[in-house]
Amino acid sequence: MRTQQTTAALIALTLLASLAACTPLRLTMDLRAADDGFTQSEVLRDAGARKSSPSVALIGITGMIADVQTPGMLGSKPGIVDQVASQLRSIEHDPKIRAVILRINSPGGTVTGSDILHREIRRFAESSGKPVIASMGEVAASGGYYIALACDEIYAEPTTITASIGVIIQTFNVHDGLSRLGIHAKALTSGPNKAMGSPLEPYNAEQVALLQGIVDRFYARFRGVVTERRGDKIDPAKLDMMTDGRVVIGEQALELGLIDHTGGILDAYESAKQLAGLNKSRLVAIHDAGSAPRSPWGALASADPTAATTDQEINLVQLRLGATSAMPGVGFYYLWQPPVLP
For the chain, the domains span: 35-169+205-335
Residue-level pLDDT at 288: 85
Mean pLDDT by 10 residues, the chain (342 residues): 48 48 39 58 95 96 86 68 95 97 96 97 98 97 98 98 94 80 86 83 88 95 98 95 97 98 98 97 90 72 45 35 47 84 64
Cα distances (angstroms) measured from residue 272 to each of 126, 155, 297: 16, 11, 17
Amino acid occupying residue 77: K
- The whole-angstrom separation of Cα 263 and Cα 205 is 47
Residue-level pLDDT at 325: 43
pTM over 0.85? The answer is no
Q: Is 138 helix (H, G, I), strand (E, B) or coil?
A: strand
Q: Considering only CA atoms, which of 329, 114, 332, 335 is closest in space to residue 218? A: 332
Residue-level pLDDT at 146: 98
**Residue from 128, 142, 164, 281 carrying the catalytic annotation:** 142
The rounded Cα 54 to chain-centroid distance in angstroms is: 28
Q: Is 273 a catalytic residue?
A: no
Residue-level pLDDT at 68: 82
* Continuous segment of H or E residues that includes residue 117: helix 111-128
- The whole-angstrom separation of Cα 67 and Cα 113 is 5
The arrangement of secondary structure in 35-169+205-335, i.e. its CATH architecture, is: Alpha-Beta Complex (3.90)
DSSP-derived pairing of the beta strands 317-319 and 27-29? parallel
Residue-level pLDDT at 257: 98
Q: Is 186 a catalytic residue?
A: no
Q: DSSP letters along 219-250, please? A: HHHHHHHHHHHHTTTS-GGGHHHHTSS-EEEH
Q: Is 13 helix (H, G, I), strand (E, B) or coil?
A: helix
Residue-level pLDDT at 95: 97
**Residue from 18, 76, 127, 194 carrying the catalytic annotation:** 194
- The whole-angstrom separation of Cα 106 and Cα 335 is 9
Strand partners, 139: 161
